[in-house]
Structure 1
Amino acid sequence: MMKKTSKIILKSIGVIAILIVLFLVIVFIVNLISNKSEQGKIESYGQSVVVDGKNMNVLIQGQGEETVVLLPGYGTASPALDFKPLIDELSLFYKVVVIEPFGYGLSDESEKERTTENIVSEIHEALQQLNIDRYTLMGHSIAGIYGLDYVNKYPNEVSAFVGIDSSVPTQGGTDDEFPTEVYKILKKSGFFRLLMKLSPDQLVTPTVDDETREQIRILSLKNTFNPNNLSEGENFFPNFKAAENLAFPKSLPVIFFLQANDTETEGWISLHEEQVKESIHGKVITMEGEHYLHHTKSKEIVEKFKEFMEVIK
């Protein structure tokens, strides 16, 4: 009786093991096929500029005399599509330039490490290629770190800095270990695609039509956890650490739009108030909303930004 029971248990374990392996193989193959299929479904937008020998994608919209350059938050799959509500509002008054850094949107990937120095240098080179030499820098999330470095390196080009729930060098949690290997496995195995399928709500998008949402989904699967995305994550700590020694130039107008009830970062609003306390023209505005404030508050952001700049003039 014991032998018979043992055989049944062993057979059951064997069947379960085979089913698990079969499941893993199916997930892997479906991901490979889907990746190839989706490559042909990506719709182009914007234009390419050659930066460091590679193609960087930028989107330009609006005919205004003044220029606003938009920089994305970390891991934004398609900056040009993610910023759409903000672009539409800003472009009524300004020339809007959306930069898609390497590894983002339709831009190529770079072999260079994603340090602040490299990222800032590449963004600047893209703007030089476009003959844009005077502009407001407007950035979401991690762009607060890159922007801080940028305005100190190119003070004669930047006329103002606008942070949309932007990162601060001294915020907590930046020294957490980045799980690169886990993300690599999720990407290569196809499990990231499976998770996106099982939980489509995790796709972060503004209110857009179904076609645009589908493009964001495809680009999210293409760009999330790509080599540049992972390198940038690995460089969080050194990039934030290096920014601790930087401050916004006193004469530079700086305005922050922050979510009013951030529960993730302690002292979120006061950290930003500290950043502008020495500024001649510094302002912090809080808004009800999520981290991606530009998805729901673009009209208000543009109105307040315009008011801020008109007072300075």
Structure 2
Amino acid sequence: MKKGLRRGLKVLGGIMLATGLLLMAGTAYEAYQSTQDMKSYPPPGKYYEVSGRNMHLYTAGRGEVTVVFASGWGTPNPYVDFSPLYDKLKSKVKIAVYDRFGYGYSDYTDEPRDVDTISEEIHQLLRTSGQRPPYIMVGHSLGSLETLRFAQKYPDEVAGMVMIDGGSPEYYSTVEMDTPEWYFASARFLVKTGVARTLLHSDRMMATLVIDPKLVSTPMKKAATISTLKHAYNDNVMNEMRHSKINASHVLENKKQFSFPLTILTAGSDQPNEGTRAWQADQAKFASWSKQGNQRLVPDAEHYIHNSQPDIVAAEIMKLVKTSSDL
């Protein structure tokens, strides 16, 4: 019995030693590859100084109207995320995609991630980079909050707004972060030890965690991978989530019905469950934030509607562009 126990402990010790050595090797490899990644990670846009740090803004296209895109929470590379829309828009309008601090090509910041600070940073970035308001603002998911707060703080600079499966302040003010902190810590551990890099070699895993590889070019796929490994659940991103409920309440406290058009695009489902029906009901109410609000249910769309149904998103944006141009 004792011999069997000793043998078992030796086997366990060997497994633990081998695992430790593999993790050490993976950590060293990841550190080296991260350094190499930065050599092939040129920003597609330009850097501008905002609050003493570099903030990245990608612009393209032409036209009198500028469409400003706000990514959803945790989207590692907004430039890649919105790329299925570019060819559909840039011949008609100017597009501007910003990276919040901790995202894409922007620096990290020590500033709090409350919605007033974030919206002020966006305003400073757009002004410093020479963009001309009024803008059509497009917010995805949790990006709805900073988009709404921007319009509350700078109402003369917004001509219209499109929400891409973005939640209302009423919704986000009542929702707790239901994913435990250990999950995010585990994800960072997988990145640090090189496991995540290995997983992202799989197109199926890439489509699950980042973006469907079929939707983007090889260089954009590489940029998305590097961004994911560089930024996944960093402190700025996590602080945004921790502030989300308070941020939503703050936007709600300052609620005043907008006069500009507001389009709510909602991902549809052929077989909605109780949670989906509640979300869709909230989305319909969300349209009341504007005197010219409307909601459109997009069938067979995922949460990232601009990836799965870019034609529909582009068409809805262009409707508001035309409206603002006719004014």
Same fold (TM over 0.5): yes
Q: Which residue number in structure 2 is paired with residue 174 of structure 1?
A: 175
Whichever structure has more helix as a proportion of its residues is: 2
Distance in 2 separating the partners of 1:16 and 1:33: 26
Q: Select 1:268's aligned residue among 243, 263, 279.
A: 279
Q: TM-score, structure 1 length as denominator?
A: 0.90
Q: Which residue number in structure 2 is paired with residue 301 of structure 1?
A: 313
Q: Which residue number in structure 1 is paired with residue 250 of structure 2?
A: 242
User: Any conservation in 1 of the 2:72–2:143 contact (CA below 8 Å)?
Assistant: yes
Distance in 2 separating the partners of 1:96 and 1:251: 23
Q: Which residue number in structure 2 is paired with residue 292 of structure 1?
A: 304
- 1:135, distance to aligned residue in structure 2 (A): 0.9
Q: Which residue number in structure 2 is paired with residue 204 of structure 1?
A: 210
Structure 2 residue 283 is the aligned partner of structure 1 residue 282 = no
Distance in 1 separating the partners of 2:94 and 2:207: 33
Q: Which residue number in structure 2 is paired with residue 215 of structure 1?
A: 223
Structure 2 residue 237 is the aligned partner of structure 1 residue 229 = yes
- 1:193, distance to aligned residue in structure 2 (A): 3.6
Runs of 4+ in structure 1 deviating by more than 3 angstroms, as ranges, are 177-182, 191-201, 262-266, 307-313
Distance in 2 separating the partners of 1:201 and 1:162: 25
Q: Which residue number in structure 2 is paired with residue 69 of structure 1?
A: 68
SS at match of 2:220: helix
- 1:164, distance to aligned residue in structure 2 (A): 0.8
| Unaligned ranges ≥5, structure 2 | none
Structure 2 residue 2 is the aligned partner of structure 1 residue 3 = yes
Structure 2 residue 89 is the aligned partner of structure 1 residue 95 = no
CA spacing shift, 1:204–1:275, aligned 2, 3 Å: same
User: Any conservation in 1 of the 2:136–2:320 contact (CA below 8 Å)?
Assistant: no
Q: TM-score, structure 2 length as denominator?
A: 0.87
Distance in 2 separating the partners of 1:225 and 1:304: 31
Let me know the Cα RMSD of the aligned residues. 2.3
User: Any conservation in 2 of the 1:63–1:93 contact (CA below 8 Å)?
Assistant: yes
Distance in 2 separating the partners of 1:237 and 1:161: 22
Percentage identity across paired residues of the two chains: 26
Distance in 1 separating the partners of 2:256 and 2:224: 33
Q: Which residue number in structure 2 is paired with residue 252 of structure 1?
A: 260
Structure 2 residue 167 is the aligned partner of structure 1 residue 140 = no
Distance in 1 separating the partners of 2:232 and 2:61: 29
Q: How many residues align?
A: 312
Q: Which residue number in structure 2 is paired with residue 150 of structure 1?
A: 150
